[in-house]
Copies of this chain bind each other. A is one copy, B any other.
Amino acid sequence: MTRLYNEPTDFADEATDGFVAANKRWVRKVHGGVVRSTASTPGSVAVVIGGGSGHYPAFGGLVGQGLAHGAALGNLFASPSWQQVRSVSKSANNGGGVLLSYGNYAGDVLNFDRAQEKLRAEGIPTQTVTITDDVASASKDEKHKRRGIAGDLTVFKVASAASDAGYDLDQVVAVAQKANERTRSFGVAFTGCSLPGADEPLFTVPEGRMAVGLGIHGEPGISETDIPTANGLAELFVDTLLAELPDGVEQAAGQRVAVILNGLGSVKYEELFVVYAKIDQLLTEKGIEIVEPEVGELVTSFDMAGASLTLFWLDDELEGFWSAPCDAPAYKKGAVAEVAGAADIHDEDDFAAAIPDSSPESREAAALVVTALEAIKGTIDENADELGRIDAVAGDGDHGIGMQRGVHAAVDAARDASGKGAGAETVLNLAGDAWSDRAGGTSGALWGSALAAVGAALTDTEPASRHRIAEGVASAKSEILDFGATVGDKTMVDVLVPFSDTLTERIDAGDTLVDAWKAAADVATAAADATKDLLPKMGRARPHAEKSLGTPDAGAVSLALITQTIAGVLADARS
């Protein structure tokens, strides 16, 4: 379990600070993560990686000459926000475009995709290769749905080496895609891990048992068995991975393969070596040539006891890039040529937006938005512990903390913008940006999008009519449905859809805003309560998701609470 921390909410930020302090020779802190502190070749492709914290050396430990150019570092087990990804990418950019590469998880896809849009809109050519090496997470036919685990390293390594070799963005993308296609991993776990401040582990495996195929955040595995001998585990690993050769590899014999035996935290080096002794023997017996193997901790999950095997099926091009020198805080190979000078310091203040002109009516609406956000902040602060408790039943228990981080940042940004004379659209936009940036993860991105969608309907110039408000909520609904959840999946969508539909219906029927909103909020509250009868279907579901029957979804509950809070603000404003 995690024992050493100060405030749990500060853990990820403080870990980044300490990481940077200890590794100034390689990395420099920027908004959202780290970039190389050494200079990169002008015009070369920047490989930007990232993900949640808790997986060190992934992701910050893999930034340095010959490896990644930057890493966006999210909260614990939560995706970095798109703003973090964008910021790190802009700082890492050397003029040759950006490759975003990361493990395939819903929250990360959401945020990295959004960052990619933004970067392209700013004229920075950007491409993405998600990593899908975990064979336990989906069938071969649906390889694109698989999770990324220790195979992250092979893709990051060869893509970065290709950039160093002068490949352009399309060529680096092709190498990264080929590497991902030729990388297969399979893992097991013996225990869960506890996040800072948590009383209970995130998930548990019964003593003496082994969860087969379990993900690095406790995502469901394939089965559970007794813990085998070290040799038995080696056989399970090798048999499973040899049962699925990548396209283009006809047979195992005669192939050259990079091998990674990865420890997840508290399966220690000596145990890994005992297992590796057998893996080496088994692969050699099959006629496989092992190339520069790695046995150690490369993608961890705090102190989770577990291990995974990765096979990376090389061709000449990939082998050259796998073997190329690199020098990062936690991964070093061969002799890297001396680098002349430090990296350019990119301007980190280029994200301050100008405040567009606004009408007096819109500024009045903006003031009400600030009041509403302040009220929401009060509600969330009051309910944070309870939201965390509900979330911990089937999730990672950080919903309360995430909402707090988000709404606090949103209030600060909204006050600041409103004080500078911004209209409702700009205030909601900047508040949404701040929410998403500070909260990160899936929920942060959704709330950021929702606020921006409402803002777009209100505009900076028109009066905030009840019809525009209903349209804004409906537009936020569409935006969030686009992320893939549907009603019945036990998410905030179960509340948002009936809330928005009722609001539109009542306003179309001629109700006042106050009455319509209150009616819709009551529907939302009932809908949130009803999620207790549902099973979660998307995102990082936990192995024992059925435990959540009887408990509502935390995201649904917080949305319902927020609609009720706004109902109160609107009623007060009328009186």
> Which residues from B are CB-within-8-Å of A56?
268-270, 273
User: Does residue A336 face the partner (Cβ distance < 8 Å to B)?
Assistant: yes
Most central of A6, A22, A231, A300 by chain B CB within 10 Å: A22
User: Does residue A265 face the partner (Cβ distance < 8 Å to B)?
Assistant: yes
Q: Given contact pairs A14-B230, A15-B274, enumerate 10 new A-B contacts (beta carbons under 8 Å).
A: A4-B227, A4-B233, A4-B272, A5-B229, A17-B277, A21-B280, A22-B280, A22-B294, A22-B295, A303-B305
Residues of A49-67 contacting chain B, CB below 8 A: 53-54, 56-57, 61
User: Does residue A271 face the partner (Cβ distance < 8 Å to B)?
Assistant: yes
The answer to whether residues A3 and B273 also contact, given A265-B266, A332-B332, A338-B335 and a CB cut-off of 8 A, is no
The listed residue (B14, B17, B230, B273) touching A19 by CB distance below 8 A is B273
The listed residue (B292, B293, B302, B332) touching A270 by CB distance below 8 A is B302
B229 and A6 within 8 A (CB): yes
The answer to whether residues A4 and B300 also contact, given A293-B22, A335-B335, A335-B338 and a CB cut-off of 8 A, is no
> Which residues from B are CB-within-8-Å of A15?
269-271, 273-274, 277
CA distance A25 to B269 in the complex (A): 18
A interface, how many residues as a size bin? Answer: 35 or more
A6 and B268 within 8 A (CB): no
User: Does residue A394 face the partner (Cβ distance < 8 Å to B)?
Assistant: no
User: Does residue A267 face the partner (Cβ distance < 8 Å to B)?
Assistant: yes
Nearest residue (CB) in B for A56 is B269
B302 and A272 within 8 A (CB): no
- How distant is A9 from chain B, measured CB to nearest CB, in Å? 12
Nearest residue (CB) in B for A275 is B4
Residues of A262-320 contacting chain B, CB below 8 A: 265-278, 280, 292-297, 300, 302-303, 305, 307
User: Does residue A156 face the partner (Cβ distance < 8 Å to B)?
Assistant: no
- How distant is A417 from chain B, measured CB to nearest CB, in Å? 32
For A431-468 the 0/1 string (1 means CB < 8 A from B) is 00000000000000000000000000000000000000
Most central of A266, A293, A337 by chain B CB within 10 Å: A266
The listed residue (B25, B53, B295) touching A18 by CB distance below 8 A is B295
CA distance A25 to B292 in the complex (A): 8
User: Does residue A2 face the partner (Cβ distance < 8 Å to B)?
Assistant: yes
> Which residues from B are CB-within-8-Å of A270?
2, 11-12, 15, 53-54, 56, 302
Nearest residue (CB) in B for A53 is B270
Residues of A158-197 contacting chain B, CB below 8 A: 190
CA distance A151 to B235 in the complex (A): 38
> Which residues from B are CB-within-8-Å of A332?
332
B5 and A271 within 8 A (CB): yes
> Which residues from B are CB-within-8-Å of A14?
230, 273-274, 277
User: Does residue A16 face the partner (Cβ distance < 8 Å to B)?
Assistant: yes
Residues of A8-49 contacting chain B, CB below 8 A: 11-12, 14-19, 21-23, 25
CA distance A336 to B332 in the complex (A): 12
Most central of A3, A23, A54, A280 by chain B CB within 10 Å: A3
B229 and A267 within 8 A (CB): no
The answer to whether residues A274 and B230 also contact, given A300-B268, A300-B269 and a CB cut-off of 8 A, is no
CA distance A354 to B103 in the complex (A): 62
- How distant is A456 from chain B, measured CB to nearest CB, in Å? 38
- How distant is A14 from chain B, measured CB to nearest CB, in Å? 5
> Which residues from B are CB-within-8-Å of A280?
18, 21-22
A268 and B265 within 8 A (CB): yes
Most central of A25, A271, A307 by chain B CB within 10 Å: A271
> Which residues from B are CB-within-8-Å of A16?
273
CA distance A278 to B280 in the complex (A): 42
A230 and B22 within 8 A (CB): no
> Which residues from B are CB-within-8-Å of A296?
330
- How distant is A242 from chain B, measured CB to nearest CB, in Å? 18
- How distant is A17 from chain B, measured CB to nearest CB, in Å? 4
- How distant is A210 from chain B, measured CB to nearest CB, in Å? 8
> Which residues from B are CB-within-8-Å of A266?
265-266, 303
A271 and B4 within 8 A (CB): yes
> Which residues from B are CB-within-8-Å of A18?
272-278, 280, 295
Nearest residue (CB) in B for A300 is B268
> Which residues from B are CB-within-8-Å of A6?
229-231, 274
> Which residues from B are CB-within-8-Å of A3?
190, 227, 267, 271, 305
CA distance A297 to B91 in the complex (A): 31
A268 and B302 within 8 A (CB): yes
> Which residues from B are CB-within-8-Å of A4?
227, 229-230, 233, 267, 271-272, 274-275, 307
